[in-house]
Structure 1
């Protein structure tokens, strides 16, 4: 089975494509890896240090829907046809992939099937789905700082799911935990005038 980075490189840079593409077309690359593939693709724009205005909320909604389906044990994902058939500019997709493919290749270099029960058993997929669902909610919050780290957690966790690599998924779950702490901290800072969780911890430690 070809690596995801090779598939994306071939599909978007080596073959002729129309000026607009849809998520439905990209799904043709997924084959049996569809859950992990979809989650990696949808989280990539927000996980990169590249401005992605307008993508975090709709992609966060799709990620949440996929996470819920992981939790309930679905084998084949369902997504709204209107969203997966919505056209995206090829130029925009290529911009994200140019930044993202090198990172994909770095992770692929160390990825291999291990601790597969984390990615293949129902308890493992429920845990992964629950963490991803929470990160998707964070991605949908229109507050700066609540998108990137949660999206990185989804990206890494999902890449482990894609490659049946439980070790990578565990690392992604750690990122999800960090993303949750950061997002809650930012929300507290916005709601209560600048006292984030980190500020409260510093005060507590100083006593």
Structure 2
């Protein structure tokens, strides 16, 4: 029983994304909107997980100004009480690099394996009907920290959003809470880095 439970959890984290992306890539139709729709477009969890993975792709510095936009949109819609994610046409048609996405998923396997071992349906009060808007506000703040092109800080909010998204998908309030805590720490780190850069700039000007 334990082994089958673990295998089911493992499939829910990485295999659907890899398999769906591979299939759509063969058809030449791998887009952000198409992948999200195939995974379950009404789920904010899949959207947050997928957009976090896109943000973690090996991209040039400053790319978070673009890759964080879907997360800002998703978490903003969550904060406004939308029942599902609604992507504008241009963003929905955005092409995804399938090999890069697969490498990113595999690179995160140490994190996902640890999550798979502890995932369970618990503390579902975190996801009550009145909660998503409050969660959306916090997640929007984390997404904004990711959006800011501050050196050495981008990975932390992206990973925290990924962890939260997994918790939301699996209805695991504990894992979602860990993601939120990591996100708050990433906001604090971003604020410290901005203050340090501002102080250094002021010193140079003086």
Aligning the two structures, in what range does the TM-score lie when normalised by the shorter sequence?
A: 0.7 to 0.9
- For structure 1, the 5+ residue unaligned runs are 196-207
1:37 alignment counterpart: 46
1:92 alignment counterpart: 100
1:58 alignment counterpart: 66
8 Å CA contact 1:19–1:91 kept in 2: the answer is no
Alignment TM-score, normalising by the size of structure 1: 0.80
SS at match of 1:30: helix
Shift in Å at residue 23 of structure 1?
0.9
2:136 alignment counterpart: 129
Alignment TM-score, normalising by the size of structure 2: 0.81
Aligned structure 1 segments of 4 or more residues deviating by more than 6 angstroms: none
**Aligned equivalents of 2:18 and 2:96: distance in 1?**
17
2:145 alignment counterpart: 138
Name the stretch that deviates more: 65-74 or 19-28.
Answer: 19-28
Shift in Å at residue 189 of structure 1?
0.7
CA RMSD in angstroms comes to 2.6
- For structure 2, the 5+ residue unaligned runs are 1-7
8 Å CA contact 1:3–1:108 kept in 2: the answer is no
**Aligned equivalents of 2:78 and 2:69: distance in 1?**
14
